[in-house]
Structure 1
Amino acid sequence: MFVSMCLASTRNMLIPRLIQLRVLQPRFLVPIAYSTHSKDCPANKRKVCPGAGGLKKKGAKGGKGGKGGVKGGGVCEGIRRGAVHDSADGGDRKSTSGLLRAIKPGKVRMGLIPEEWFLFFKPMTGVTGPYIFMIVLGNYLVSKEKFIMEHEYYLGLSIGVVLYLVITRFGDLVGKTLDKGVDAIAYEFHRLRQEDLDLQKKIVEAAKLAKWRAEGQKELMDAKKENIAMQLEAVYRERLNMVYQTVRGRMEYHVRKHKIYNRIHQRWMVQWILAEVKKAITPELKKKAIASAIEELNSIAAKMKK
């Protein structure tokens, strides 16, 4: 009876809190109990979560800066700060957005009763208080016939025993198998995401390289402009030298031509003068000239003898 009652109450409490987590296979939905507290959970009325594994000491100051209370955190603290998920590279990464799935469920006693319920009774009734409360409550419900033990009770009791045996015997094996499948799928997603990130990084690096090359193209264009300017200057000087040599050759040609003309004119003038002089000399004039020359030679010879 008590086990059936606990199963029914636990079922009524957990069913509204189930979150259907889709694990890639369209027909394979794994319901995961989101480890949180209900609105009327006593843990929400306390400054320190009972799931932290201890209670706040008397006289200790709480709050963010206080040294009292329990260090660390339980389920509530893990949910408030954000659950930690295992990454594909073996490390842990912290997520802080959206609904987070706890890696492991909260601690329970007797297979289904949350640890927080026992910690709630501990400061008021001690360690045995929760067990006494369950016995008294069960006795009251059965004795007052508030809880009717019909055939469904024994069916539920049998199912509970079978489930307990299955969970204790094969729970770890099934959990590890499912975790391996989930890890493989998560790793595949992470691998695809990492490949996409690597591809995007390569694209970014290629864009940076293209940008750097574009900046180099600007410098290259400046160098080409300077090279073209130097080539134009060289061609200009070459053509200027060619013009200079051409003009100089023409000037030298005209100078040589003028000298040749003068030489030819001089030669013609000398020839003309000689021809005219020869024409002007008569035979009588030749005789007189010869006679005067002989006399001068004789006079010179006489002077030399003296």
Structure 2
Amino acid sequence: MLSRLSSPQLCSRVVVVTRGVASAGQVTAHSSDNSIGFFEKISYRFKGVPLPTETEAPKSMFDACNKEWSAPELLPAVPKDFKEHPDRDLTNYPYPSRPMYPPKTRLLMMPDSWFTAFQKVTGTSGPYLFFGGLFAFLVNKELWVFEEQGHMTVGWILFYLLVSRTAGYKIDAGLYKDYQDRVGFFKGLIQEDLKEAVEFRKTSAQQTESLNALKESLPTSFKESMQLQLEAAYRKNVQNISGEIKRRIDYLKETEETKARFERDQLLKLINESVEKQVSQKDFQEKFLQNAIQQIKGIAV
């Protein structure tokens, strides 16, 4: 575990020695699992070295140890002329820039900027002597009481270094992936909200292009359309006039037919009344009866 936290130069010097095996990094072709010790197998598992009977290298849980994670894409910079309010003073109060990568550190957790100012004056060992002497002075004068809570602080610092150097890379990568998924989700919502606007913009652009293409022929089209409208109005008026004339002719025809029928009915009525009046007279009946008798006699002869 300590070899994972140390530098690559120190890690290259660590050698696991077991009985019956000369080196942990060398495995001969004719060796077998029985010739490899238990602790050497554990070291192979930690290093990700396959055993002689394995065809693929095992995946070690410590592959991401001592790795520094960095975002694959840079954050977009704020435009220079961007202001959330016209009165914003960008000269004296510029927008803070978020660092893309973690700052350089020394001793696994100390910022390198703390050492640079001393190193220019005192040399390489100056900052280490200063901070070490300051720590010893604070503890000696009991300005920093190194009690039980102080020991717990040291333990928490060691725990943080252990977790950050072993699982920090995977944690940062997972958080970045969740962040990208969340950003993609919100982008999808924005795209859904702007879908109708985008479609309207495309349709408007197509209609504009169509109108520009027909711009030269529009006067002719309008003239022909006007002529067609006038022709349709003329035909409609002619149809209305012909229908009105036919309706009037039918009315006159029906009127004459009704008048002739009325005259015929009145004439027939007058004839029937005069005939009935004559038949009802006694002289007419006697004359008609004598005439009938004479006709019968003539027929009999």
Q: Which TM-score band (shorter chain)?
A: 0.3 to 0.5
The structure that is strand-richer by fraction is 1
- What TM-score comes out, normalization by structure 2 length? 0.40
* Higher Rg of the two aligned structures: 1
